[in-house]
Structure 1
Amino acid sequence: MLDKDLYLIVPILIEQPTWGGSYIPKLKGITREPLLSGIRIGQSYELAGVSRVIPCSQFFAMSRPDEQGSYVAPPVYEVHLRRSRESQLSDTAIPSLPLHDLLVQHPIEILGKSIARRFGTSMPALIKYTQALGNSFQLHVKETEESTTHWLSKPETWFFLEPGSITLGVKPGCNWQAYEKACREIATGMELLSKHAMKGSLTPVQARGEADRMVLAHNPWQFVNCLRVDSGTIIDPSAGGIHHSWEEDANCPLGNILYEVQRDRSDSVSTIRSFDKGKFNPDGSVRSVQIDDYFKYIDRSEDANSPKNLMGQAQLIRKDTGGRVSKLFETAYYRSDMIFLSDRMAPWLEHTDESFHHIFVKEGAIQIGIEGSDKTVGVREGWSVFVPAQVGAYHLRGHGGTKAEVIKTYIPKS
C-alpha cells in the first residue's frame, strides 16, 4: 500500500554546448550554483521516465514551516554533462528515489488504472523546459508508420514562453529533388570537413568557416517555411511527418524558450534529421543525419505543411473568483492546461480524476497540499510537483495570497 503523498521532481538539467544558455538556471534561481559554473543548459527535464523524485512528506520532518505555514521545497537538481556523459545530483543529503521504481511497484496508484493498463509501468509523458539556440531540420514518423519501420513516433507539442524563430513545414511548390540534393551535398561536405578537423589539417575556426560557406551556398532554408512566433504561441506537429526546427535569430537573442510535452521516447529511436546546420561537436565530429528516411517519411501534402494548421492559442475554459483555466493543447497522449491563480487566499481545488498530474510553476510561487491535510508544500517558480493519480483532490494557491501561474499536464481519458 502506497501512502498518499506529493513528490517534488528533481529536474535533469541537460548541458548543450552548442545551443544552450542561462535562461533555465535563472528561472529556477540557481545561477550561482558551483555545479553550473561555465555550463550552457539547453533543457530541463521536468518529467521523464528517468526522473528522480522527493516525497514531500520528508520536508515535514526535515524543516519548519515558513510564515505562510508551508514547508518550502529545496532546490535539488541533477546535471547531465554532454561531453563526459556524467550526471551529478546537487544535494545528496536529501533522499530521492527513481520515479521508475514507484511505477514498477505501484503503477495504478501512480499513473491511474486506465493509464497503467495502457502503458504498463512506463511513464508515457516527457516534459521539457527548453532554451534552444538553433537545432537540426527534423521530423518524427506518424504512428501509423511504426509497423513498417524501426522508427517510433513521437507526438510533441510546444508552448512558446518568449518570442521565437522556427521553421515549420515545407513551402508550397517545393522542389523536392533540389531540397534533397542540398541536404545530401551538405552532409557529404560536413563529413569531409570533419575528417580534416579531427586529423588537424584544418583548425576548428577554418572548418567552421568552410562549413558556413557551404551551408550558405546550398541554403536549405529556401525550401521550408521560416517563421517568427510570439510568446504564447502553441505549435502542434504531433501528427508526425512534419518538418520542424528551432532557429538562431538576432531578433530573438534568448533563442527559443518553450515548454515541450511529448511521448517519452528517445531521439535515437524517434528523431530523423536531414540537416544539422553545419555544426561540429567539440571533438570535430559531426552528428549523423538520416536523409533517406527524412524524405521517405515526410508528409508532402499542402495541408500538413501549412503553418496555420499547426499553430494555436490558449482557450479559456473556466473562470471564477479564485482564478481561471485555459486549455493549451490536447492529443491522445497528453493534455496541458494553464491555471492562473488569483491573489485571493481561497484555495483552487483540483482532482486527479484517474490520471497523475504534473504541476509546473511558470510564474510566482505556490502552496500545494492534499485535500484534507493541514500541511502544504511551497514550490518556487521554475520547479515541478508530481501528483499521483491516487491523491484525488488537492488544492493550490499563490504563496502568501499572491498571483501565480502553473501548467498542469495529465493523460486524457482514451
Structure 2
Amino acid sequence: MKKAIYPIKFIPQPRERVWGGRRLAAQFHKPFDPDAVIGESWEVSGFEDDSSVIENGWLEDNPLFDVIETYMDEIVGEDNYKRFGNEFPVLVKLLDIQERLSVQVHPDDETAFDRHNSYGKTEAWYVLEADPTARIYMGFNKDLDMHEFLDRCAAGTLEEVLNVVTPKKGDFFFIEAGTVHSAGGGLVIAEIQQLSDVTYRIYDWGRENNPATARQMHVDQALSCINYSKYDGAGFVHSGGSAPSKKLVECRYFTANELLLTDPLRIWPDRYESFLLYCCLEGEAVITPSDTSQPTPLLRGEWVLIPAAMSDFTLSAITAGTRLMEVYVGRTEEKDSYIKE
C-alpha cells in the first residue's frame, strides 16, 4: 500500500547576520542559540547543496531536493516540475532586522543567469513585527539617473533620495528585481523569493568604510540592474481588513494570499496545480487532511508545505484572529528562456 503524502515541516536553518537580532528564538520559538545574532531563518530551501531537511512524518531527515527528485510532480505539481526540475521554485525565510540591512538590489532572471547561472530574485516581505523605530526603504523618492546615483554613493548621500516607509504589522511589500531596498530599526519579516541568493550591495550605511565591519560591495554590478524611476507604490498592500481572503501579489514567480480563519476552510490542492505553502502570521492553526487522522499544528512564524498530490484538507483556527499566508506557483504559458533545456 502506498504511503499517503502529508503536510511537511522542515528544520529551520539559522544564518547569522550583522544586522540581525535574537527575536526568532525568543518570540518565534526557533531552535537557535538564544545568544546568537540571527538575521535569517531559512524555512524552506530547495538548493541542491543547501536543501531544507524534513522534520516530521515518514519522510523525516530527508532533504527537500532529494524528495522532489524521487516524487517529482507529486511534490511541486506537473507544470512546476517541467519548469524547475528538482529545484523547489521558491525560498522562504523569516528575517529579524534590528540594525540596518545594506541598501541592495537583485538582478532579474536574464542578468542573473548570464552572470551567475542562477535565477534572478524577485521577492516579497510581509511584516510580522514592527517597532516604532522601524523603517523600510523601498525604491527612490524621485527619478534618478546613473550619474546622480553614483555621485550620491560616493558622497554618502544616497539616503536622501531613498523612499522611506514607516511599516506597520501586516503590511506587505512586493519587491521586483531592480528595486533598491533596505530596512532597519526593529522588524520581523516573512520573506518569499525566487530560489536565488544573488544580492548586490550598493550602500552599507558607513559599515563599508570601517575595516572591522566592511563587507564586499557590488556597485558596478548593480548599475545596469537598478530601476532608477521614482517608486510608485504599486507593490505595497496596507495591513488590516476583515475579509476572509486578500490577494497580496500574483506574479509569474509566486502568488500570495492572506487568509483570515474565522471558520474552517477546506482546500483541494489539485485545483491549484501546484504545491501550497502556509505561514502562520498570527495566532495558531491546525491542518487536517481528509485521508488521515493526524492533524498538523501550525504556530506563529512556522511554514508548512502541502504537496501538490496531497488529498483535500481543512485549515482551522485554534485561536481567534488567526491569519495565514498562502503561497503557490501557478501555471505559466510563457517559456522561461533562462532555464537550460
* TM-score, normalising length: structure 1: 0.70
Distance change in 2, residues 1:19/1:145 (3 Å): closer
Structure 1 residue aligned with 2:180 = 243
Distance change in 2, residues 1:364/1:282 (3 Å): farther
Report the CA distance between 1:293 and its aligned residue: 2.0
Percent identity of the aligned residues? 22
Structure 2 residue aligned with 1:308 = 233
Q: Which amino acid aligns with 1:14?
A: R
CA RMSD of aligned residues (A): 2.8
Aligned residues: 320
Asked whether the equivalents of residues 22 and 35 of structure 2 are also in contact (C-alpha less than 8 Å), the reply is: no
Larger radius of gyration: 1
Asked whether the equivalents of residues 167 and 246 of structure 1 are also in contact (C-alpha less than 8 Å), the reply is: yes
Asked whether the equivalents of residues 9 and 46 of structure 1 are also in contact (C-alpha less than 8 Å), the reply is: yes
Structure 1 residue aligned with 2:279 = 360
Which structure 1 residue ranges, 5 or more long, are not aligned? 59-94, 186-217, 249-254
Matches within 5 A, 1:228-267: 228-238=166-176, 240-248=177-185, 255-266=186-197
Distance change in 2, residues 1:29/1:338 (3 Å): same
Matched, 1:162 2:129: yes
Larger helix proportion of the pair? 1
Give distance in 1, aligned partners of 2:154 and 2:9. 46
Give distance in 1, aligned partners of 2:94 and 2:145. 35
The DSSP-based 3-state class of the residue aligned with 1:28 is: coil
Distance change in 2, residues 1:143/1:173 (3 Å): same
The DSSP-based 3-state class of the residue aligned with 1:359 is: strand
Give distance in 2, aligned partners of 1:402 and 1:311. 26
Report the CA distance between 1:375 and its aligned residue: 2.5
Report the CA distance between 1:296 and its aligned residue: 2.4
Report the CA distance between 1:180 and its aligned residue: 0.9
Asked whether the equivalents of residues 95 and 188 of structure 2 are also in contact (C-alpha less than 8 Å), the reply is: yes
Asked whether the equivalents of residues 5 and 388 of structure 1 are also in contact (C-alpha less than 8 Å), the reply is: yes
Deviations 1:231-253 (CA, angstroms, capped at 9, x unpaired): 22222222x222111134xxxxx
Which structure 2 residue ranges, 5 or more long, are not aligned? 333-341
Instruction: Select which of 92, 96, 100 maps to 2:65.
Output: 100
Instruction: Select which of 348, 363, 376 maps to 2:265.
Output: 348
Matched, 1:9 2:22: no
Matches within 5 A, 1:86-235: 95-133=60-98, 134-146=100-112, 149-150=115-116, 152-163=119-130, 164-174=134-144, 176-184=146-154, 218-235=156-173
Matches within 5 A, 1:279-298: 279=207, 284=212, 286-298=214-226
Asked whether the equivalents of residues 22 and 34 of structure 2 are also in contact (C-alpha less than 8 Å), the reply is: no
Distance change in 2, residues 1:410/1:223 (3 Å): same
Q: Which amino acid aligns with 1:258?
A: I
Distance change in 2, residues 1:123/1:168 (3 Å): same
Q: Which amino acid aligns with 1:257?
A: V
Asked whether the equivalents of residues 128 and 281 of structure 2 are also in contact (C-alpha less than 8 Å), the reply is: no
Deviations 1:137-177 (CA, angstroms, capped at 9, x unpaired): 11112335456644752111112223441222223254743
Asked whether the equivalents of residues 315 and 327 of structure 1 are also in contact (C-alpha less than 8 Å), the reply is: no
Deviations 1:27-46 (CA, angstroms, capped at 9, x unpaired): 3235xx6x513112212212
Q: Which amino acid aligns with 2:255?
A: R
Q: Which amino acid aligns with 1:140?
A: H
Report the CA distance between 1:131 and its aligned residue: 1.4
Give distance in 2, aligned partners of 1:178 and 1:325. 43
* TM-score, normalising length: structure 2: 0.83
Distance change in 2, residues 1:54/1:177 (3 Å): same
